[in-house]
Structure 1
Amino acid sequence: MNTGTPSSTPHDTPHDTSAAHVAIEPSILYFGTPVVLLSTENEDGSANLAPMSSAWALGQVVVLGLGPEGQTARNLLSRPDLVVNLPAPAQWPAVERLAPLTGRTPVPVDKRGAFRFEPDKFAAAGLRPEPSELVRPPRAAACPIQLEARAARVRPDASGAFLIAEAHVLKVHADPRLVVPGTQHIDPAAWSPLIYNFRHYYGLGPELGRSFRSQTPGRSR
């Protein structure tokens, strides 16, 4: 029977605000992305460590968005080895200590006034380097997850303002407390990435549910 009242759907919520949307032009689109620290090798064999919030994984490939004038981009164009270090939420101060630093000298024009040259990024961040097994740049010892990788392709993005690096992951190192016992899986209930949300740092909230493709048990209520 048609009562004249639209039927509800699973997507309806008591707080549906779709009618209240407004058009905006935000200066950045970091709408909740994980933070990584990239280790790369400088020309003199020393290590560079740089924070990044434009990284995502597809299978065994990690895709990275880079500023073309930074030391990380310069390194990867000549020396493709890298480590993708994933810090925990509590390590955000170390990430922020790196944020105003650059490993490039002289400081690129577009960074002058806001950034300063720092040759020892690990020390500046308060992090200890440890040797990698398959690549030349060191890992950040305190980061709970570390991905040794090699950039297979570095190219300009569609706008020409950035570089896109596609890196094949060669080896994954994980804090054993994050691994589901007897498996090769990271326990999502034990691991929380550091999230960069419109230039503010966050961790994850409680689990809401799990994908049908998940191979680890859910803990939602």
Structure 2
Amino acid sequence: MFYDAIANDHGLRHDPFKALVVPRPIGWISSLARDGTVNLAPYSYFNAVGSNPHYVLFSSGGYKHSAANIAATKEFVCNLATWDLREQMNLTSAPLPAGVDEMRIAGLTPAPCRLVRPPRVAESPVALECVYTQTLELPADDPDEPNVIIIGKVVGIHIEDAFIRDGLVDAAAMKPIARCGYMDYAVVTEMFSMRRPSAAEAQALLARQTKPAAE
């Protein structure tokens, strides 16, 4: 099938877009309001961008609590959402009013960070301490709810020691979860490796393509 994405005339029961760009990592963002209230919310429009230094970004439809808090306090933490924490992650997605501590609602433990003020989720095996870099606004059909992209520089990283094995992070053992559209999620329990072609192998591929055909 093909449909016009602007008209969104797909004719299906639900918009399929979020089920097509999958799986999407979940940014489980903890932040602080001006009054010190903790906010914790999951965002599936999330990813790592750039290195040296490292950056992460997440996107929200309008200035929700996380975006408003970060605009005010300039700091946040990205916690890893895992299979063991799936129910707690889902609870923190509830549309609760401002001023409610979702970490407490979900029965999670706030742990102090080293370089930023918002707490990290103690039960999560990974936390990225971030300082605010910039906000981008993309046009939206509803001008009152722009597509807000928050970018942060990663200044500190917590990794649970049990998941560092032979000098490498065992990500599969953490069982990170990802969003797959609709009400669906995926969990990573297996991984495979592929070596990127070397420069010499790339040159050999080019040579193979340009070699004249035998007569």
Fold-level match, TM-score > 0.5? yes
Three-state SS of the structure 2 residue aligned to 1:127 is: coil
| TM-score normalised by structure 1 residue count | 0.73
2:77 is matched by which residue type in structure 1? V
**Displacement after TM superposition at 1:211 (Å):** 4.2
| TM-score normalised by structure 2 residue count | 0.74
**Displacement after TM superposition at 1:29 (Å):** 1.6
Which residues of structure 2 form unaligned runs of 5+?
4-9, 198-215
**Displacement after TM superposition at 1:72 (Å):** 0.7
Instruction: Answer 1 or 2: which has greater helix percent.
Output: 2
Structure 1 residue ranges (4+ consecutive) displaced by more than 4 angstroms after TM superposition: none
* Identical amino acids, percent of aligned pairs: 23
For residue 164 of structure 2, what is the aligned residue in structure 1? 179
User: 1:200 is matched with which residue: 171, 174, 184?
Assistant: 184
For residue 80 of structure 1, what is the aligned residue in structure 2? 74
State how far apart, in whole Å, the 1-side matches of 2:193 and 2:68 are. 41
Q: Indicate whether 1:52 and 2:43 are aligned.
A: yes
State how far apart, in whole Å, the 2-side matches of 1:101 and 1:207 are. 34
**Displacement after TM superposition at 1:80 (Å):** 1.2
Provide, for residues 49-103 of structure 1, a one-character-per-residue CA deviation record: whole Å limited to 9, x for no partner. 1111111102210011123231111111111110000121221111111122334
Q: Indicate whether 1:93 and 2:87 are aligned.
A: yes
Q: Indicate whether 1:35 and 2:26 are aligned.
A: yes
State how far apart, in whole Å, the 2-side matches of 1:93 and 1:39 are. 17
State how far apart, in whole Å, the 2-side matches of 1:119 and 1:142 are. 20
- Retained in 1: the 8 A contact 2:63–2:148? no
- Retained in 2: the 8 A contact 1:127–1:140? yes
Which residues of structure 1 form unaligned runs of 5+?
1-21, 105-117, 214-221
Count the aligned residue pairs.
177
Instruction: Provide the alpha-carbon RMSD of the alignment.
Output: 2.1
- Retained in 1: the 8 A contact 2:173–2:189? no
**C-alpha spacing 1:67/1:209, structure 2 compared with 1 (3 Å):** same
2:35 is matched by which residue type in structure 1? D
For residue 141 of structure 1, what is the aligned residue in structure 2? 122
